[in-house]
């Protein structure tokens, strides 16, 4: 760990530090003023480098892990719109050190109620904005509108196209760029898809984020923006109605938890069944199963829950072999944050398809998520976990994972190696088999406590960024 800069991993990013400073500025309060932070700040790991840097800026301004996750989540909706965005949804775990407990905030982008005609590319109800607002209520310190501002600036004035976004654009350029709004947003002056290092400017999205910052998140669900979304949603795959938008609210739920020695290990609960699958895979690894067998076990449990429902604890206790091939599952993105007090957040986000419906909402500037369980679109396996000691009220480990069907084992394997075997977090994350990808932060001596032992890691094969330490 580089204690001064805090850089633990960076791929395909170049001069990210100078770029983020020009966007978010130096918002650290001066020494002697409330909010000034010195020494250990905490950590941020995200699938897109600029989002991680935005989160770290919030920590340096005295924000909590929740504040950092909200700001980074909005930023990643701008810089990685192939895998997350205002049209999508997700799920997060929050460890509150003062309370000594963990909560799950669930905001999946689900299909609207069947009514009237269905579009040619059915769209989900957008949930990210309401989800991040609900997340902010769990442990806020910085104002919510302040946390939207960096994403707004990145959209208005441009962000450098990351390698992750460039690869996603190249993969689906044909069908995606058939949409005029997507073509305007994701091509350069030559009409070709943006490549790594090109400037990505999204003025309509910047205007939407500005409206959310000024008018509040509710405007997208029951105000002037909601009416515009209803009007234009049919062009982006929809259609949606005000009756779809108004009642769509996040849920705060109890996570799935298991005891690991004196610690508790929490997973996202269904309907974020990537957490359930990750818990099953972790149990299999704990009992001595190999990586492939543990992966199959996790997928079997999630499949049974999707087909039959039932009590997650009972499913985890039942022998359930995986029958048949795993269907194609959507892409996702993840981030993990930790603040200096030991509060932590672990999140997974998705558009239920790479670039969702493949269409951008006119005037609003964001891609609509594909409606799950419509056509061939399966819900994603949103995978996140947190380990903590309730008696000590101390943080130990946080992880999140992506990789379609490999997400559960990508979540479970690093957690098992760190928590059961004492492996360094960077080695544990590097051991995840492709196509799985993991982000993680570990404090083996807990936090508060030995912050010098805390470490963070992003998948070395990916294009994310891990930051931890001080300034």
What pLDDT score was predicted for residue 37?
A: 61
H-helix or E-strand spanning residue 159: strand 159-160
What is the number of residues in the chain? Answer: 471
d(CA 350, CA 330) in angstroms, rounded, equals 8
Report whether 410 contacts 384 (CB < 8 A).
no
Report whether 119 contacts 238 (CB < 8 A).
yes
d(CA 300, CA 434) in angstroms, rounded, equals 19
Pairing of strands 394-402, 383-389: antiparallel
Tokens of residue 85, six digits: 């965005």
Cα angle, residue 182 at apex, residues 235 and 241 outer, rounded to 5°: 30
What pLDDT score was predicted for residue 119?
A: 63
**Closest to 404 (Cα-Cα) out of 277, 319, 286, 267:** 277
- Side-chain half-sphere exposure of 62, counting CA atoms within 13 A: 15
What pLDDT score was predicted for residue 9?
A: 36
What pLDDT score was predicted for residue 202?
A: 97
d(CA 257, CA 238) in angstroms, rounded, equals 37
Is the pTM higher than 0.85? The answer reads: yes
What pLDDT score was predicted for residue 471?
A: 65
d(CA 429, CA 36) in angstroms, rounded, equals 33
Q: Cα 231 to the chain's mean position, in Å? A: 28
d(CA 163, CA 49) in angstroms, rounded, equals 10
One-character DSSP codes across 104-117: EEEE--PPPPP-S-
Report whether 113 contacts 245 (CB < 8 A).
no
The 3-state DSSP class for residue 469 equals: strand
| Helices 65-79, 128-136: crossing angle, 10 deg rounding | 160
**List of E strands, 206-343:** 251-253, 256-260, 263-267, 333-339
Map tokens 């929490």 to a residue: 266
For every one of its 471 residues, what pLDDT tens digit does the chain have, with 9 covering 90 and above? 322 233 333 333 333 343 344 444 444 455 444 455 668 999 999 999 999 999 999 999 999 999 999 999 999 999 999 999 999 999 999 999 999 999 999 999 999 987 655 667 889 999 999 999 999 999 999 999 999 999 999 999 999 999 999 999 999 999 999 999 999 999 999 999 999 999 999 999 999 999 999 999 999 999 999 999 999 988 877 789 999 999 999 999 999 999 999 999 999 999 999 999 999 999 999 999 999 999 999 999 999 999 999 999 999 998 888 877 888 899 999 999 999 999 999 999 999 999 999 999 999 999 999 999 765 678 999 999 999 999 999 999 999 999 999 999 999 999 999 999 999 999 999 999 999 999 999 999 999 988 999 999 999 998 999 999 986
**Phi, psi (rounded to 5 degrees) for 285:** -60, -40
460: exposed, middle or buried (Cβ count in 10 Å: 0-12, 13-18, 19+): middle
Cβ neighbours around 25 below 10 Å, total: 12
């Amino acid at each position: 760990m580089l204690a001064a800069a805090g850089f633990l991993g960076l791929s395909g990013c170049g001069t990210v530090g100078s770029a983020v400073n020009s966007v978010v500025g130096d918002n650290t309060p001066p020494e002697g003023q409330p909010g000034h932070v010195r020494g250990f700040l905490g950590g941020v790991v995200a699938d897109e480098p600029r989002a991680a840097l935005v989160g770290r800026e919030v920590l340096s301004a005295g924000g909590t892990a929740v504040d950092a996750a909200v700001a980074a989540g909005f930023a990643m909706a701008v810089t990685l719109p192939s895998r997350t965005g205002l049209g999508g949804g997700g799920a997060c775990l929050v460890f509150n050190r003062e309370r000594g407990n963990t909560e799950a905030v669930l905001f999946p982008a689900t299909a609207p109620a069947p009514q009237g005609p269905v579009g040619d590319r059915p769209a989900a109800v957008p949930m990210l904005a309401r989800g991040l607002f609900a997340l902010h209520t769990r442990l806020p310190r910085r104002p919510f509108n302040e946390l939207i501002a960096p994403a707004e600036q990145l959209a208005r004035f441009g962000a450098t196209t990351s390698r992750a976004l460039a690869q996603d654009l190249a993969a689906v350029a044909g069908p995606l760029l058939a949409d005029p709004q997507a073509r305007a947003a994701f091509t350069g002056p030559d009409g070709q898809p943006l490549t790594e290092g090109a400037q990505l400017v999204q003025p309509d999205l910047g205007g939407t984020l500005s409206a959310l910052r000024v008018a509040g998140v509710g405007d997208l669900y029951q105000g002037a923006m909601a009416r515009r979304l209803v009007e234009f949603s049919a062009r982006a795959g929809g259609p949606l109605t005000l009756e779809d938008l108004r009642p769509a609210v996040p849920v705060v739920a109890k996570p799935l938890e298991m005891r690991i020695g004196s610690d508790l290990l929490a997973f996202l609960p269904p309907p974020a069944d990537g957490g359930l699958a990750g818990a099953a895979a972790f149990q299999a690894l704990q009992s001595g199963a190999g990586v492939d067998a543990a992966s199959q076990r996790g997928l079997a449990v999630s499949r049974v829950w999707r087909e039959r429902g039932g009590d997650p604890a009972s499913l985890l206790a039942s022998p359930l072999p995986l029958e048949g091939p795993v269907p194609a599952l959507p892409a996702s993105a993840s981030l993990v944050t930790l603040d200096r007090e030991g509060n932590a957040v672990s999140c997974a986000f998705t558009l239920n398809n790479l670039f969702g419906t493949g269409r951008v909402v006119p005037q609003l500037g964001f891609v609509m998520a594909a409606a799950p369980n419509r056509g061939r679109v399966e819900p994603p396996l949103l995978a996140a976990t947190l380990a903590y000691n309730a008696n000590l009220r101390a943080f130990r480990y946080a992880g999140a994972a992506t990789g379609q069907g490999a997400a559960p084992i990508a979540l479970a394997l690093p957690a098992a190696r760190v928590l059961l075997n004492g492996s360094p977090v960077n080695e544990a994350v590097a051991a995840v088999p492709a196509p799985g990808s993991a982000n993680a932060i570990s404090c083996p001596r807990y936090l508060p406590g030995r912050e010098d032992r805390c470490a963070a890691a992003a998948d070395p094969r990916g294009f994310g960024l891990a930051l931890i330490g001080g300034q």
